[in-house]
Amino acid sequence: MPERRTRKPPYTIDVVLLTPVRGQLAVLLCRVPEGRDKWTLPWEGPRTGEALDAAAGRITKSVLGEDAVWREQIGAFGDGKRHPSDTEISVGFVGLVPMGTPSPVGGVYAWFPIADIPQLAPRQRQLLDSAISMVRTRMDQSPVAFRLLPQMFTLTELQQMYEFLLARRLHKASFRRALHGAWLVEPTDEWRSEGRGRPAQLYRYAPRKRRPAQRGIRLDFMS
Amino acid sequence: MPERRTRKPPYTIDVVLLTPVRGQLAVLLCRVPEGRDKWTLPWEGPRTGEALDAAAGRITKSVLGEDAVWREQIGAFGDGKRHPSDTEISVGFVGLVPMGTPSPVGGVYAWFPIADIPQLAPRQRQLLDSAISMVRTRMDQSPVAFRLLPQMFTLTELQQMYEFLLARRLHKASFRRALHGAWLVEPTDEWRSEGRGRPAQLYRYAPRKRRPAQRGIRLDFMS
DNA sequence: TCAATAGTGTCTGTTAGACATTATGGA
DNA sequence: TCCATAATGTCTAACAGACACTATTGA
C-alpha cells in the first residue's frame, strides 16, 4: 500500500486505523518492504480530483478490504518532521474499526497495541498520538465507543469501552441512566451468557432524535 | 500578503482571524489586487523548514502587525474546491484577536461581520465556516471567550461573549458561580462605570491550577 | 427620587454517585 | 446450595436555574 510512485506527491494522506484488541486500543501498521522490522502507517499520495476524505476511505479499503465505520480528519502535519514519503506535509485521518474485524492476512499488516508501538517516522508518531487523543476527546460528541464495538453488544461491554477510553472507572447505575436518557441504544431479544453470572441482554446502537440537551456552561480548561 | 510568487506552492496556509466588532464576530479579509471588490482570507505558501503553526503566526503578524492571542489548526481543505492559489490543498488556522485591536490601515484589509461575508473562493468559504464552528465548539476546552476580550473586562462582558458565541442566554448567578468555581479570573481594583447603573469591577484572566473536574459522561450526540 | 445595572443569597428541581437489593444463571 | 454477574431502586450531595434582594451609580 505505501506503493512507491515514481514522482514524489505534493503531500500524503495517512490513516490511523484503530480497533480494540484484548481490551486495548490497537493501530494497524504496515511493514516497510525495504526495512527488516520497520513499520509505517498506511499512507498514499492524493489522486487528482479526489476529496481528502474519499482518499482516506480508499486507503482504508485497500488495506482492510472494507471501509472504517467512522472517520475524521485529524489535521495537517509537517513541522519539519520526517516522513517516509519525503513530502513536506501529511494529512492525517483516524478511522475506527469494530472489535473482532479479522486482520488482513499476509504478514504485511499487523495490529499493534498502542502501549507497544514500534519505531515510526516522527511525523507519523505525532499523527498517531493526535489520533488517539482525538478519539478520547470526541467520545462525548461522537459515537466513538459504539463504533469500536460489534453491532450487538452488552451494556457492560459498552461501559468497559468507555472506561478504557476515558481511563477511569464509571458508575454502573449512572452510566445506564445516562444511556437510557440519551436514547442511543435499543435492546434486542438476544442474551449472552458469559461464564458464571446472569446472562446479559444484547443491545444495538440505534440513536433516536431528541432535543439537544440544555446543559450549563463548561469551563473545563486551565490555560 | 497574498503576494503572488512566481512558482505555485505545494499547498497554502490560510488564516481566519476573528475578533468581536459591535457584538458580532468579524473576520479579517484582504482585498484581491486585481479584482474590483473581491476578497480573500490571508494566505501564503510555506517556507522551507518552517512549522505550520509558525507560518500561521508569521502571516498574522504580516497582516496585523502582531500575532493572535490564541491559535489552532482547523485542518486541511481541498476536495476539489477552488482557491486563489490554485493549489490542491490548504491548511487552515483560526486565530483570535482581542476586541478593540485597531484595524490595519490602508484599505487593503477590513473586518467583515460573519453574517455579511462577501463572496469568497469556495475552499476559503468552507474554511471560514469550519473556523467559526471550531471556535464555538472549543469554548469549553479553551479560553476562547477570554481571548476575544481585552486584558481587563467586566463579568457582564464575559457573559455576553459566552452568550453570543453559544447563541443562547445564560443565567447570571449560575454563570458567576461556575466562573468562581473554575478559578479562571481574578478581580482587579479597577471599576468601570457605563451609563446609569452601578459600576462593574474589572477582572483579568488568571487561571489557577486545580484538579480536573470529575464530571459524568456526556452523550451529546445523535448520530 | 427613580431607573438601571452590578452583585449575591436562598430555594428548588435535576442529576451523578454511593449503596443496597433483586434477578438469574453456572459451578 | 453458593457464587458471580446483570439489572434496578433508593438515598444523598452537588449543582443549575429561578427568584428575590441588596448595592451603587446616573438622570
Non-local (6+) Cβ contacts of A97 within 8 A are: A17, A18, A19, A28, A64, A68, A69, A148
CA-wise closest residue to B50 among B21, B17, B24, B11: B11
Among the partner-chain residues B73, B175, B218, the one whose CB lies closest to the CB of A75 is: B73
SS3 labels along A25-66: EEEEEEECCCCCCCEECCEECCCCCCCHHHHHHHHHHHHHCC
Segment A86-132, tens digit of pLDDT: 999 999 999 999 998 887 888 899 999 999 999 999 999 999 999 99
Cα end-to-end distance, chain B, whole Å: 41
Q: Are the C-beta atoms of residues A216 and B162 closer than 8 Å to each other? A: no
Report CA(B179)–C1'(D20) in Å, whole number. Answer: 22
Q: How many residues does chain A have?
A: 223
Residue A84, number of CB atoms within 10 A of its CB: 21
A195: Cα separation from own chain's centroid: 29
Q: Is the CB of B168 under 7 A from strand D?
A: no
SS3 labels along chain B: CCCCCCCCCCCEEEEEEEEEECCEEEEEEEECCCCCCCEECCEECCCCCCCHHHHHHHHHHHHHCCCCCEEEEEEEECCCCCCCCCCCCEEEEEEECCCCCCCCCCCCEEEEECCCCCCCCHHHHHHHHHHHHHHHHCCCCCCHHHHCCCCEEEHHHHHHHHHHHHCCCCCHHHHHHHHHHHCCEEEEEEEECCCCCCCEEEEEECCCCCCCCCCCCCCCCCC
Q: Are the C-beta atoms of residues B38 and B116 closer than 8 Å to each other? A: no
CA-wise closest residue to B73 among B55, B47, B49, B99: B55
Longest dimension (CA), chain B: 60
Whole-number Å distance between alpha carbons of A220 and A56: 32
**Chain A span 43-102 residues with beta carbon within 7 Å of strand C:** none
Distance from CA of B36 to the nearest CA of A (A): 30
pLDDT range class, residue A22, cuts 50, 70, 90: confident
Among the partner-chain residues B143, B166, B168, the one whose CB lies closest to the CB of A221 is: B143
From the alpha carbon of B175, which nucleotide's C1' atom is closest? D16
Q: Kindly report the average pLDDT of chain A as a whole number.
A: 93
Q: What are phi and psi of B205, to 5 degrees?
A: -75, 115
Q: What are phi and psi of A70, to 5 degrees?
A: -155, 140
Q: Are the C-beta atoms of residues B25 and B56 closer than 8 Å to each other? A: no
For residue B13, give the chain A residue with the closest CA: A76
Report CA(A198)–C1'(C23) in Å, whole number. Answer: 8
Q: Is the CB of A212 under 7 A from strand D?
A: no
* pLDDT score of A31 more than 80: yes
Residue B6's pLDDT is 53
**Nearest-CA residue relative to C1' of C24:** A198
Segment A148-171, tens digit of pLDDT: 999 999 999 999 999 999 999 999
CA-wise closest residue to B55 among A89, A223, A192: A89
Residues in chain B within 8 Å Cβ distance of A216: 174, 178
β-partners of residue B191 are B201
Segment A179-214, tens digit of pLDDT: 999 999 999 999 999 888 999 999 999 999 887 778
Residue A195's pLDDT is 86
Contact B166 A10 (CB under 8 A): no
Residue B141 is placed in which grid cell? 476546552
Q: Are the C-beta atoms of residues B101 and B19 closer than 8 Å to each other? A: yes
* pLDDT score of A5 more than 70: no
Contact A51 B218 (CB under 8 A): no
Q: Give the position of cell 481594583.
A: B189
Distance from CA of B140 to the nearest CA of A (A): 5
Q: Are the C-beta atoms of residues B121 and B40 closer than 8 Å to each other? A: yes
From the alpha carbon of B171, which nucleotide's C1' atom is closest? D17
Q: Are the C-beta atoms of residues A128 and A99 closer than 8 Å to each other? A: no
* pLDDT score of A4 more than 80: no
Whole-number Å distance between alpha carbons of A88 and A85: 9
Residue B100's pLDDT is 87
Segment A35-47, tens digit of pLDDT: 778 999 999 999 9
Residue B67 is placed in which grid cell? 500575532
**Region at A144 (left for phi over 0; alpha for psi -120 to 50; beta for the rest):** alpha
Distance from CA of A223 to the nearest CA of B (A): 6
Q: Are the C-beta atoms of residues A25 and A139 closer than 8 Å to each other? A: no
Report CA(B31)–C1'(D18) in Å, whole number. Answer: 50
Contact B140 A184 (CB under 8 A): no
Distance from CA of B88 to the nearest CA of A (A): 8
β-partners of residue A94 are A16, A72
Q: Residue-wise pLDDT tens for chain B (223 aa)?
A: 555 545 789 999 999 999 999 888 999 999 998 777 899 999 999 999 999 999 999 999 999 999 999 999 999 999 999 999 999 999 999 999 999 888 788 889 999 999 999 999 999 999 999 999 999 999 989 999 999 999 999 999 999 999 999 999 999 999 999 999 999 999 999 999 988 899 999 999 999 988 777 788 989 897 7
Q: Which SS3 state, helix, strand or coil, does residue A16 take?
A: strand
Whole-number Å distance between alpha carbons of A162 and A185: 15
| E strand residue ranges, A123-180 | 152-154
Q: Are the C-beta atoms of residues A90 and A41 closer than 8 Å to each other? A: no
Contact positions of strand C to protein Cβ (< 7 A): 3-10, 15-20, 23-27
